[in-house]
Structure 1
Amino acid sequence: MSVAPLQALSVDELRRRSSTKWRRYPDDVLPLFVAETDYPLAPAITARLTEAVGLGDTGYTPPDPGIRDAFAQFALRRFGWEVDPARVRSTCDVMMGVVEILRVVTNPGDRVIVTPPVYPPFYDCVREVGAEPETVPLVDTGDAWELDLLGIEAALAGGARAVLLCNPHNPTGTAHARESLAALADLAAGFGAAVISDEIHAPLVQPGASFTPFLAASETAAKVGFAVTSASKAFNLAGLKCAVMVTAGDETAKIVADMPDEVEWRTGLFGALAGVAALSPESDAYLDSLLAALDENRRLLADLLAEHLPAARYRIPDAGYLAWVDLTDLGWGDNPAVKILREAKVALHFGPYFGAEGAGHVRINFACAPEVLREAITRIGALAAS
């Protein structure tokens, strides 16, 4: 049975929001840059937060706000992944969880492998702990992006101590294959390295694609890996601050369990309450409807680019609502989003921020109303035709 796509809010309604997406630029700019969605909250989240506000329930986050069990049940229900709730610990957000794990598994001066083009904060998080990012770019096969396992092996052989993985990948939307993840785990184990997998986009993998949690890729992956994730990307909860760190091996579980209490205290109470509501079965229909809307938009974007920007190169993503688009052939320089913002009044994410491999590229957030996406690409197309 087909699922009705979720309807986005109107631009007039969205401009009443106070978040970055709607306050960063003037009202004449269409914002398709930062990873916020334009949809209403899931009803279960609205109900839970409304109840909390009515009660004045704004105190400290309790030791067990329910997020561990909610995540384990969600993982089993949506991914077929068995997670031990005792090996789930919450913190403020995904990047904070990544930093705290890196603090333990690396030493200052160590190198950490990142796979560009990749989410810009990865570089900052590695440097925050005194380590240095070592880039091993994804391989473009012509049909898909894949991990460069030979390049990762060479970096590990050269002394890199950890791999910071994005699964599904931001900005390409790639859901990495189980075989590739298992091979990565074998490499990490062979060189005594850790793998930290950011899986925040996992709930947004389209039904036609296959998501493999890194910790479930193999027995070896369960031993060498850490997963850090959140309901915030799929359910638009970034401002509420709640993520989970997940482990499956005895040694990795001890590393997370031994972290200072303050790491967990940073979890926002509203983030935990909203996260539990988001991950509950009550919100599954909302998530399915969101996926249907994103499926329509990822395909609409392909049609719009073919019509208005035929020189653009775009591969429909497996997951998420972020499109990685190569505009090199338009001749708009290494950072075409600057010209697009200035002359077309459309805000896209700057490609070079994702690494040197982002030159000539933009990232487009298509979690919006179809008419907003259509207007944005029409504006950019008019700029190309001028």
Structure 2
Amino acid sequence: MRILLLAAAAFLVSACNEQTQPTQQAETAAVVKPAKTYSLTLAQTWPSSLPVLTDTTKRFAAMAEQMSAGRLKVRVDASNKHKAPLGIFDLVKSGQYDLGHSASYYWKGKDVNTLFFTTMPFGMIAAEQNAWFEYGGGQELMNKVYGRHGLLAVPGGNTGNQMGGWFKKEINTPEDLHGLKMRIPGFAGEIMAKVGAKPTNIAPGELYTSLERKTIDALEWIGPAFDLSMGFHKIAPYYYTSWHEPGAESQFLVNKKKLASLPEDLQAILLSAMKLSGYQTLTQVTFKNGENWKIMKEEYPSIQIKTFPAPVMAVLKKANDELLAEMAAKDPLSKEIIESQQAFLKTSRQWTKISDQAFLNSNEDLVK
């Protein structure tokens, strides 16, 4: 009897093993099977040597890979590799690259309504513009503009209030702008043309040479965080304060077909990494502007900080208002964007005046 019981037990154990082994093997295979990876390419306007903005794209790629546990891998190509610094729009739209990082106002020749989403002269500072994008309808309007081109644009890092530029000669009157050859993109370039200057757009890697060889007389770039390494102060001593880019936002461009081909969780990770890396851009720029301006003041005392005289500012503002009115009259979408920005600014600026501006004004003499 005992022998029969042992035989029956052995049979049952054998039968159970035959039934469970395939299941265990399948479960083990499911655990060790590598997750599918998705490789994306990103083209940026910036050369590999440019600080901060190249850090933005590096952070983005690292975040996307880490947040996706390695399922997303992004290769970032600088302009010195793809050779088309001002061609990012077409590279992403055509699918040659999946993603891009640049500035929206570079594409006004492709679609005039793109220029509103970097910055506007006499417009919003960084905090106000970020609020407009997130809560004031800015992102929805940007979706409307870029959606027509099969693209999604995402705020990609604000560089804050940008300086008015480096000039070889001092600007004292509106007449000094007549015939001035200046690198200045976006709507500010339109304004400068209207007041008699000769604006042009030049890729970042060619700016110093253009200024040195007198191809241009002046240029606007960004601020000390970027300008110190560019060396403009060595050949153009007048450094003018801001009017044209009070809160300049860079952008990520995304090919919508490529985005739709990704699993939903990876789409969310990709967009989240863009937003987070963009947020860190402003904090990094704020830090680097202070650090680099300290160096510039101490090591290059010949730099002369200037503010455009009131008559010059009045001429620029008048040209700005006239051009906006012309754009609004020509294009319903332009009108919608302009009215959205102006309405948001009218409300938000009232708070800025009695908060940040009042604080800075009342404490001006306390911090040297």
| TM-score bin, normalised by smaller chain | under 0.3
Q: TM-score, normalised by structure 2?
A: 0.26
Asked which structure has the greater CA Rg, the reply is 2
Q: TM-score, normalised by structure 1?
A: 0.25
By percentage of residues, which structure has more helix?
2
